[in-house]
Amino acid sequence: MKKTVLLVVLLTLVAFLSGAIAAAPPKGAGTTPPPPPPKLEKFTGDIKSVDAMAKSIAVAKGKEQKTIMVTADTKITKGKDALKFEDLKAGMNVVIEYKKEMDKMIAVTIKVSAPKAPPKAK
């Protein structure tokens, strides 16, 4: 009799455990992977104008010109020094990494180049 009761308890326990394992979701299921980061594009040129109201800059290289928005998250540097949006002036040479959001170009980084030294006279 004891063996029968023990066998019934053991079988019941095995049945409950196998049901719980089968009902558990697989690891990683139910979570969606984060979206890939937006692809950054580069543009190099000279600042033609700075619009403080729209917080944007117009940058041109040859005949190509782009208007790029600057946000609070935009990292602006000149060498190792951090700059503010207000420090950007027309005529500065910049390298901009930007992302496209809908029909706008949003600057991620703006690197201001030091002005080129004039050639030395011989």
**What pLDDT, in 10s, does the model give residues 41-85?**
999 999 999 999 999 999 999 999 999 999 999 999 998 999 999
**What's 41-112's CATH class?**
mainly beta
Q: What is the pLDDT of residue 64?
A: 93
Q: What is the pLDDT of residue 121?
A: 57
Distance CA 61, CA 28 (A): 48
Distance CA 112, CA 100 (A): 21
Q: What is the pLDDT of residue 20?
A: 64
Distance CA 107, CA 95 (A): 10
**What pLDDT, in 10s, does the model give residues 3-36?**
888 878 877 877 776 766 666 666 655 677 777 7
